């Protein structure tokens, strides 16, 4: 697409996009297949992303951000996600699921201690919501936080936590009053080297091989009461708001996946010949390419609309975030599948990146809320049963 049609983008956005694209193509693309195949997490690349202040777009300058906003965050996330699904997660680990939550609900002391260090990647973050028996039904989580003097004592297990084996801190959701269900949930900042914290890596997973994922086990972990974010018992509301940020980031990464699949397909269709012509000349191949273009650009348009609303102050635009998340994450599943049609057998081999893109694209339907949950929010909003935006 020609730049002049990107009417939503300012000059700064275009410069940011070009800079991140160049970085991703130069520094990440040459090593992405090797790192995935060797399950190698490169902290150095995260540091390099931090040096470009990529995590700081929605964060004010006084805490180490650059204040460029949510659209800038979406653009940077897409560009990294286009080249590596594994590294795309950094935007949620360093920014949306950690720094932004501390920014919204943390004390000034917590903000000063953690946010600049997350921005510079001096420390790595993670966030723990999911448990072995509590996925979509977050209010059924059983991790407890019991007040003991000036501390809370955390006990429980968190499952499927991105980066927990390499993280220095975590934003952890726990029940301070189990009987009160979602009204008894609170949120804490927990250092991963605190006594009683251990992690177990999940080694075999479908994709995102260069992205460490695991389980956090908390046994009598003492956290200062001052590490609580916001008020006791308000954690479920904070969780819903945190997801309104992390879902935008996931959706932007999903657009990157679609773009990567489309780029590979265009290249291949123009190179491959059968029956004496380039396969790009066959109308049935063109039909597939057209669908990929539409899905990718429709997803991007929804992501950008959502980000632009946030830049205008509508940060709790739950409906538009869920819409973007649902559409873009479904596209990240379907567009790589269409790419496989174009590349056919070569797409099935590891010689081309489609196999990796296809594997990594699947995750978007699951994390930050499974697709059915997105559908439920959209349908109950449309039917007037429960408004998504309040």
Ligand X SMILES: Cc1cc2nc3c(=O)[nH]c(=O)nc-3n(C[C@H](O)[C@H](O)[C@H](O)COP(=O)(O)OP(=O)(O)OC[C@H]3O[C@@H](n4cnc5c(N)ncnc54)[C@H](O)[C@@H]3O)c2cc1C
- Rule CB under 6 A: is residue 90 a binding residue for ligand X? no
- Rule CB under 6 A: is residue 369 a binding residue for ligand X? yes
Of the two residues 46 and 363, which places its CB atom closer to ligand X in the complex?
363
In the complex, least distance from residue 90 CB atom to ligand X, rounded to whole angstroms: 12
- Rule CB under 6 A: is residue 135 a binding residue for ligand X? yes
- Rule CB under 6 A: is residue 130 a binding residue for ligand X? yes
In the complex, least distance from residue 138 CB atom to ligand X, rounded to whole angstroms: 8
- Rule CB under 6 A: is residue 380 a binding residue for ligand X? no
Of the two residues 270 and 372, which places its CB atom closer to ligand X in the complex?
372
Query: How far is the C-alpha of 188 from the C-alpha of 221, rounded, in Å?
Result: 11
What's the length of the chain? 390
In the complex, least distance from residue 256 CB atom to ligand X, rounded to whole angstroms: 16
Residue nearest to ligand X (CB): 135
Orientation of helix 235-271 relative to helix 354-361, angle to 10°: 160
Of the two residues 127 and 304, which places its CB atom closer to ligand X in the complex?
127
- Rule CB under 6 A: is residue 353 a binding residue for ligand X? no
Q: What is the DSSP string of 185-208?
A: EEEEEEETTSTTEEEEE----SS-
- Rule CB under 6 A: is residue 378 a binding residue for ligand X? no
- Rule CB under 6 A: is residue 199 a binding residue for ligand X? no
SS3 state of residue 79:
helix
Is 368 catalytic? The answer is: yes
- Rule CB under 6 A: is residue 213 a binding residue for ligand X? yes
Residue from 129, 166, 172, 285 binding ligand X (CB under 6 A): 129
| The token pair that represents 253 in the structure block | 């990464």
Query: How far is the C-alpha of 214 from the C-alpha of 173, rounded, in Å?
Result: 16
- Rule CB under 6 A: is residue 161 a binding residue for ligand X? yes
Residue from 32, 50, 208, 355 binding ligand X (CB under 6 A): 208
Which segments within 96-202 are labelled E, that is strand? 125-128, 144-148, 151-162, 169-175, 185-191, 197-201
Query: How far is the C-alpha of 196 from the C-alpha of 282, rounded, in Å?
Result: 61
- Rule CB under 6 A: is residue 139 a binding residue for ligand X? no
- Rule CB under 6 A: is residue 160 a binding residue for ligand X? yes
Paired residues of 152 in beta bridges: 147, 223
Q: Which of 329, 110, 116, 369 is nearest to 239 (CA)?
A: 369
In the complex, least distance from residue 81 CB atom to ligand X, rounded to whole angstroms: 14
Of the two residues 126 and 192, which places its CB atom closer to ligand X in the complex?
126
Residue from 47, 136, 270, 344 binding ligand X (CB under 6 A): 136
Q: Which residues of 3-29 are buried (b: 16+ CB within 10 A; e: fewer)?
A: eeeeeebeeebeebbeebbebbeebbe
Residues 6+ apart with CB under 8 A from 165: 199, 200, 201, 212, 213, 214
Give the phi and the psi of residue 302 in degrees, each rounded to 5. Answer: -65, -40
Binding part of the chain for ligand X, among 24-32, 45-53, 154-162, 192-200 by CB under 6 A, reads: 154-162
Q: What is the DSSP letter of 87?
A: H
Q: What is the DSSP string of 206-259?
A: SS-TTS-EEEEEEEEEEEEGGGEESSTT-HHHHHHHHHHHHHHHHHHHHHHHHH
Of the two residues 136 and 380, which places its CB atom closer to ligand X in the complex?
136
- Rule CB under 6 A: is residue 140 a binding residue for ligand X? no
In the complex, least distance from residue 366 CB atom to ligand X, rounded to whole angstroms: 5
Q: Site residues (CB under 6 A) for ligand X?
A: 126-130, 135-136, 160-162, 208, 213, 363, 366-367, 369-370, 372-373, 376
- Catalytic residue numbers read 368
């Amino acid at each position: 697409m020609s730049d002049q049609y990107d009417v939503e983008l300012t000059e700064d956005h275009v410069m940011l996009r070009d800079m991140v694209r160049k970085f991703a193509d130069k520094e990440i693309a040459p090593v992405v297949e090797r790192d995935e195949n060797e399950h190698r997490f490169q902290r150095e690349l995260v540091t390099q992303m931090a040096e470009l202040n990529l995590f700081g777009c929605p964060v004010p300058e006084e805490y180490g951000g650059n204040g460029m906003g949510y659209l800038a965050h979406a653009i940077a996330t897409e560009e990294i996600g286009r080249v590596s699904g594994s590294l795309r997660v950094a935007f949620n680990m360093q920014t949306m699921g950690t720094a932004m939550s501390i920014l919204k609900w943390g004390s000034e002391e917590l903000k000063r201690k953690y946010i600049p260090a997350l921005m510079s990647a001096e420390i790595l973050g993670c966030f723990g919501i999911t448990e072995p028996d509590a996925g979509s039904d977050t209010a059924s989580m059983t991790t407890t936080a019991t007040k003991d003097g000036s501390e809370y004592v955390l006990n429980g297990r968190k499952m499927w936590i991105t980066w927990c084996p390499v993280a220095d801190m975590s934003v952890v959701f726990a029940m301070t009053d189990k009987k009160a269900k979602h009204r008894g949930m609170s949120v804490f900042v927990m250092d991963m080297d605190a006594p009683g914290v251990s992690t177990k890596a999940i080694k075999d997973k479908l994709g995102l091989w260069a992205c460490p994922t695991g389980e956090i086990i908390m046994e009598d972990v003492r956290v200062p009461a001052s590490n609580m974010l916001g008020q006791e018992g308000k954690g479920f509301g904070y969780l819903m708001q945190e997801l309104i940020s992390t879902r935008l980031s996931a959706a932007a990464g999903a657009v990157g996946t679609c773009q990567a699949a489309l780029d590979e397909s265009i290249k291949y269709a123009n190179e491959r010949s059968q029956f004496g012509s380039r396969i790009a000349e066959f109308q049935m191949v063109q039909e597939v390419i057209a669908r990929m273009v539409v899905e990718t650009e429709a997803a991007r348009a929804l992501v950008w609309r959502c980000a632009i609303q946030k830049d205008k102050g509508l940060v709790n635009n739950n409906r538009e975030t869920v819409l973007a998340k649902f559409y873009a994450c479904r596209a990240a599943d379907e567009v790589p599948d269409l790419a496989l049609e174009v590349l056919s057998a070569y797409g099935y081999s590891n010689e081309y990146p489609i196999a990796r893109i296809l594997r990594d694209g699947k995750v978007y339907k699951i994390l930050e809320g499974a697709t059915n949950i997105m559908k439920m929010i959209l349908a109950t909003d449309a039917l007037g049963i429960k408004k998504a935006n309040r």
